[in-house]
């Protein structure tokens, strides 16, 4: 079992929803955190809560994950402040739901920029550090929507399918390097982004996804949990 205390983790999309839940679960385990997001007030509120509740070491960096240089600076700041980096959680995401036939090209571009390119920028920024130290863990938040498409989710589902494929391929590229890669695919989660209809199933909570992240991180160093799917009952 890998001990998480004093590990250093960057979490994007950390000011609310799943990202905030992941940051909380890691703070409970005394992981040293760098939280990234676009909303400074909510980011600082989250950081202050974690400091007061768990006596956590938390830094915040205002970051737009669609801007590659900002993501690179985020990772550099984490390494500069703590001296190393062990984990990056790519949790920032956008769920817009226009059908392709609606022709809402701006919504498509937003989801591609945030969900796909933002994740790739995080991976690209962290990899040189992980390769140099011969260890590290990349966690990408995908979605059940990457496997199951509705007529209103085509483009969102496409971006999350891309995250799944990127994670699967990256695991093969990084085999025998000591670097682990995991995708977490949640069902409907009770967050501001997950405000849609979940039918007759109770929505998941952000902490349920956070526990899946912790499970993957705590595995022995020779074990890579490459994929986790979390559904409501």
Q: Is residue 214 part of a domain?
A: yes
What amino acid positions are annotated as catalytic residues?
156
* Residue length of the chain: 233
pLDDT of the chain along its 233 residues, tens only? 889 999 999 999 999 999 999 999 999 999 999 999 999 999 999 999 999 999 999 999 999 999 999 999 999 999 999 999 999 999 999 998 778 999 999 999 999 999 999 999 999 999 999 999 999 999 999 999 999 999 989 999 999 999 999 999 999 999 999 999 999 999 989 866 555 555 566 889 999 999 999 999 999 999 999 999 999 98
DSSP state of 194: -
Domain count, the chain: 1
Q: Is residue 3 part of a domain?
A: no
User: Structural domain of residue 71, as residue ranges?
Assistant: 8-230
Burial class (CB in 10 A: 0-12, 13-18, 19+), 41: exposed
Q: Is residue 143 part of a domain?
A: yes
Q: Is residue 72 part of a domain?
A: yes
On the CB side of 17, CA atoms within 13 Å amount to 22
Q: Is residue 208 part of a domain?
A: yes
Q: Is residue 16 part of a domain?
A: yes
CATH number of domain containing 149 = 3.40.50.720
Query: Do 117 and 66 touch, CB atoms closer than 8 A?
Result: yes
pTM of the model: 0.94
Q: Is residue 78 part of a domain?
A: yes
Q: Is residue 2 part of a domain?
A: no
With H, G, I as helix, E, B as strand and everything else as coil, classify residue 222. Answer: coil
Query: DSSP of 42-87, one letter per residue?
Result: HHHHHHHHHHHHH---EEEEE--TT-HHHHHHHHHHHHHHHS---E
């Amino acid at each position: 079992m890998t001990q998480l205390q004093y590990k250093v983790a960057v979490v994007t999309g950390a000011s609310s929803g799943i990202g905030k839940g992941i940051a909380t679960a890691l703070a409970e385990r005394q992981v040293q955190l760098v939280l990234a997001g676009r909303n400074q007030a909510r980011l600082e509120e989250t950081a202050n809560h974690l400091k007061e509740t768990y006596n956590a070491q938390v830094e915040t960096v205002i970051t737009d994950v669609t801007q590659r240089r900002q993501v690179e600076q985020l990772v550099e700041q984490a390494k500069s402040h703590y001296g190393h980096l062990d984990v990056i959680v790519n949790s920032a995401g956008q769920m817009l739901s226009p059908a392709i036939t609606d022709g809402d090209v701006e919504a498509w571009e937003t989801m591609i920029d945030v969900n796909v390119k933002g994740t790739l920028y995080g991976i690209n920024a962290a990899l040189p550090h992980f390769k140099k130290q011969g260890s590290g863990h990349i966690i990408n938040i995908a979605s059940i929507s990457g496997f199951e498409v509705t007529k209103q989710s085509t483009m969102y589902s496409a971006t999350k399918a891309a995250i799944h494929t990127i994670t699967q391929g990256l695991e093969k590229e990084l085999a025998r390097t000591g670097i682990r890669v995991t995708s977490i695919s949640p069902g409907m989660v009770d967050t501001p982004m997950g405000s849609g209809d979940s039918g007759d199933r109770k929505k998941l909570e952000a902490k349920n996804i956070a526990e899946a992240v912790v499970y993957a991180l705590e595995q022995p160093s020779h074990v890579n949990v490459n994929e986790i799917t979390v559904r409501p009952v």
